[in-house]
Amino acid sequence: MADIFLSYRRRDSQSATGRLADRLTAHFGAARVFLDHDSIVSGDDFAEAIRRAIGTSVVVLVVIGPDWLDARNAEGRRRLDDPNDFVRQEIEAALAGSVPTIPLLVEGAVMPADHAVPATLAEFTRCQAIELSETRWQYDVDRLVATLQARFAIESDLPNPLTSPGSDAQINLFARLALDLLELAAHPTRLIARQQTSHALDHVRAFTFLLAALLLGNFAFLQALATDTLIEWTVAGVILGLLTVTVLAILLTIAWRIAAVRIEFRQVTLILSYFYAGTWIGFCAGALLAVMGIQLIAPDTFSQYLAIMRAEQPFPQRMATARVLLENALHGAAAAMFFIACLIWAVTTAWAVVAWGAFRISFGCSLVKAVLATSLWLLMLFGISQLTVMVGRSL
């Protein structure tokens, strides 16, 4: 998905928008710039493609020429007053989705007043505009590129045109990490969708992100347990996490194909890597608090728990004994910290539900197919869990 969405009127600023798109594409790459006739695949629903692109963009650039405000249709009515006007819908979608929106003034245009636009666009008139003057086009576009690269941390193989290459790389690296972490928490579907640029490095980044999340989560959780085999358990946890993601991705790919959505296994693994990493971090954050609370009250609880699970007893009996052990440790400070942990897990669950929408957005399918694929996947997981319980009871 593209990071930069270009909104414009063809009869108002097509030439200027074309020049700008060429410059942005040269600097950031074609996959990061969305321009309607270049970015929408033949046969796609135009309105749906626009909505999806804006929802996953980092920033929307609205190109305003001299006739942008007063452009009229064949009947002589102002286009901006039409609720079905695509430019109006694009800006409304950006504002509704809290996507940063930057007006770009070209060919001597001025920013419209709030009383001159529909009420739904009043907020847009208060956005700080950037002028792209014909007399200093190169400098103004360089200034825009610098803003996109530094403020919004949009990736590019080229340095910021207004700073030295060395310092720009350092600033962008930390800004990008900070923005990605914040956006993953606040707008998971947007971040996950933006990681799919059809570049070979997309999957490397997804795997690296997943690996880092597994390492961080396992290490923090096991550190709280004060285990003597921290490294071994951490490595084992990472391997188990990678195997889990692989199995989940295989089942999910099958489910989507049964739902008549033509997708590849690598597409599913890329999205699932970010999804699993986010949920794992949330789970481990809650587990860390819960474990720390129990360790404060009864430091030997988890040593006893492991001893119970290793005992030569029927599985149901071991689970019942372990449950009683943990319940006895949950009082006082441990109970309070466990309550906070439950809140973290609840927030993580809500986050996961929202983040799951990245599949539908990325695949561009209907809600019905998305629900069908998810239901089939959950049925598969339920069947596997039941089989696992049956095997566990037989041990």
Tell me: the pLDDT tens digits for 354-369?
A: 999 888 888 878 889 9
The verdict on 181 and 221 lying in the same domain is no
Share of the chain above pLDDT 70, in %: 87
Q: Yes or no: say if 5 and 38 are a contact pair by the CB < 8 Å rule.
A: no
Share of the chain above pLDDT 90, in %: 38
Q: Yes or no: say if 201 and 9 are a contact pair by the CB < 8 Å rule.
A: no
- Looking at 186, 219, 242, the residue that finishes a domain is 186
Query: Which residue in the block uniquely carries the two structure tokens 């096991």?
Result: 222
The confidence score (pLDDT) of residue 356 equals 93
The confidence score (pLDDT) of residue 171 equals 46
* Overall domain count for the chain: 2
pLDDT of 196 strictly over 80: no
The verdict on 115 and 229 lying in the same domain is no
Angle, CA 279 vertex, CA 48 and CA 227 arms, to 5°: 165
What is the pLDDT of the chain when averaged over all its residues?
84
The confidence score (pLDDT) of residue 140 equals 93
Q: From CA 214, how far away is CA 206, in angstroms rounded? A: 12
What contacts 24+ positions apart, CB below 8 Å, involve 95-101? 95/120, 95/121, 95/123, 95/124, 97/54, 97/55, 98/187, 99/5, 99/54, 99/55, 99/57, 99/58, 99/59, 99/60, 100/58, 100/59, 100/60, 100/152, 101/59, 101/60, 101/62, 101/127
Per mean pLDDT, which of 132-136, 150-154, 327-331 is the most reliable?
132-136
The reply to whether 211 falls in a domain is yes
Helices assigned H by DSSP within 29-124? 36-39, 46-55, 86-96
* Averaged pLDDT, 334-356: 92
Q: Taking the model in full, what pTM does it have? A: 0.71
The confidence score (pLDDT) of residue 227 equals 57
Find the domain containing 10 and state its range.
4-186
The verdict on 52 and 125 lying in the same domain is yes
The verdict on 239 and 335 lying in the same domain is yes
